[in-house]
Chains A and B, each alone.
Chain A
């Protein structure tokens, strides 16, 4: 499972990355977390508002700062 956090580096994007790691730790799931800050790469995923979350190549969230609980749900869904 590969989780990408898309964002040019605003405070919100960083908090999403931290929360993703927290959610993964709580779920005890191994996953590769990558932070994508390059604008062109972000655009090529079709994302216009950051922070955005991509799980296994699929955009599951954009322009939001989700809670750890919401992230756990999203990750669990992306896995199944």
Chain B
């Protein structure tokens, strides 16, 4: 706001004309930025080939050249996608708050509630460190336990960073599959937990906590505010994940260049039935954000690992994270935590096998 004031003061002659022109100038600038982005993005592969094979003069057959070409192409591509998508998601999330989501979910029946809970889990801004207050806020104000779980499963599993990486490295089909099956798992797992009537396994003090009635602070957000929120999201998320993205792509590049073709086929291929449960078991205690794991996974897929196995591994790593489960231990008794991990784990297994069979 202060910059507007300064600008108006700097051009006292025509502040009105400037105010009227501002949205137009802004739109033109955005358009120019989008065009530049697209031009750069669509020429990245040519640039990478030129740099590695012409400028560095490396032989296309060498493992090192192939690894470097992979990195030089994938790293800027993923970073560029990340910038745009995180910005857009930041703007979408400005339309949702945990309070609004709670109001939408309170008193919902099963089934419809689970569908809605999962979808809202994707778009509601949520940090796993506030999982506990959010859980209490939900269940004490009439959001059914199963619906709350649908939300809590979808929120970490389907995140923008994972989707960008999947889209960038695997294409839209795999990204779409991940989105659809992730949502399905959140819906069904939440529904199952709701049907099992496990309220008795929530710590007793949770339901005794009285929430003050009108607690939420609703603030009106203007469009300039939403743009600022998008920018903040970029600063926050991209600023946090870029080292993991680059490290992940570097490891992926190494696998791409040096691991022999079809090396993974025997270990993570379709033929090995035990690979899916193993992938889930290894994935659950692994705590990595989507940014670090997906480039590695892409390289594995290229070397003959089966897509279902790879998807199952990824979902187990991202969706069932140990730290979040430990945080939830404050409000959930052990049997409920075990049920939660069990139900989601089985869902991931089914998805893994399904893709191995279908594709």
* Given known A48-B98, A59-B217, A63-B97, contact A43–B211 (CB-CB < 8 A): yes
Contact in complex: A48, B217 (CB < 8 Å): no
Q: Are B209 and A49 in contact (CB under 8 A)?
A: no
Contacts of A39 in B (CB 8 A): 132-133, 136, 330
CB–CB B125/A49 < 8 A: yes
* In the complex with contacts A59-B217, A61-B217, A65-B236, A46-B211 CB distance below 8 A: yes
Asked if A63 and B125 sit within 8 Å, CB to CB, the answer is yes
Contact of A10 among B97, B125, B127, B136 (CB under 8 A): B127
- Assess whether A24 is interfacial by the CB under 8 Å rule: no
Query: By the criterion CB–CB under 8 Å, are B209 and A40 in contact?
Result: yes
A12 / chain B contacts, CB cutoff of 8 Å: 127, 129
**Cα–Cα distance between A50 and B128 once the two chains are bound (Å):** 10
Whether, in the assembled complex, B210 has its beta carbon less than 8 Å from a beta carbon of chain A, the answer is yes
Question: In the complex, how many angstroms separate the beta carbon of A49 from the nearest chain B beta carbon?
Answer: 5
User: Is the CB of B99 closer than 8 A to any CB of chain A?
Assistant: yes
CB of A47 closer than 8 Å to a CB of B: yes
Interface residues of A in 31-72 (CB under 8 A from B): 39-40, 42-50, 59-63, 65
Q: Are A10 and B129 in contact (CB under 8 A)?
A: yes
List chain A residues, Cβ under 8 A from B209: 40, 43-44
A23 to chain B, nearest CB (A): 15
What number of A residues sit within 8 Å (CB to CB) of B? Answer: 23
How far, in angstroms, from A64 to B236 measured CA to CA in the complex? 11
Q: In the bound complex, what is the Cα–Cα distance between A13 and B134 (angstroms)?
A: 16
Most chain B CB within 10 A, of A42, A48, A62, A63, is at A48
Contact, CB under 8 Å: B330 / A49:
no
Complex CA distance for A40 and B97, rounded to whole angstroms: 21
Residues of B57-112 whose CB lies within 8 A of A:
97-99, 102
Please tell me which one of the listed residues A40, A43, A46, A50 contacts residue B129 in the complex, with CB atoms under 8 A apart. A50
Q: By the criterion CB–CB under 8 Å, are A49 and B134 in contact?
A: yes
Are B212 and A44 touching (Cβ within 8 A)? yes
User: Cβ of A78 < 8 Å from any Cβ of B?
Assistant: no
- CB < 8 Å neighbour of B130 from A40, A60, A63: A63
**Interface digits, B127-168 against A, CB 8 Å rule (1 contact, 0 not)?**
101101110111000000000000000000000000000000
Task: Say yes or no for B215: interface residue by CB 8 A criterion.
Answer: yes
Q: Choose from B98, B127, B136, B217 the contact partner of A43 (Cβ within 8 Å).
A: B136
Most buried by B among A12, A39, A49, A60: A49
Q: Is there an interface contact between A48 and B212, defined as CB atoms closer than 8 Å?
A: no
Most A CB contacts (10 A, CB to CB) among B98, B102, B330 go to B98
Q: What CA separation (Å) do A43 and B133 show in the bound complex?
A: 6
What is the CB-to-nearest-CB distance from B230 to chain A, in angstroms, rounded to a whole number?
A: 14
In the complex, how many angstroms separate the beta carbon of B182 from the nearest chain A beta carbon? Answer: 22
Taking a contact as CB atoms under 8 Å apart, the answer to whether A45 and B215 are in contact is: yes
Asked if B133 and A47 sit within 8 Å, CB to CB, the answer is yes
A9 to B134, CA, bound (A): 15
Chain A residues with CB under 8 Å of chain B are 7-10, 12-13, 39-40, 42-50, 59-63, 65
Closest 7 CB pairs of A and B: A46-B215, A10-B129, A48-B137, A46-B212, A50-B130, A49-B130, A48-B98
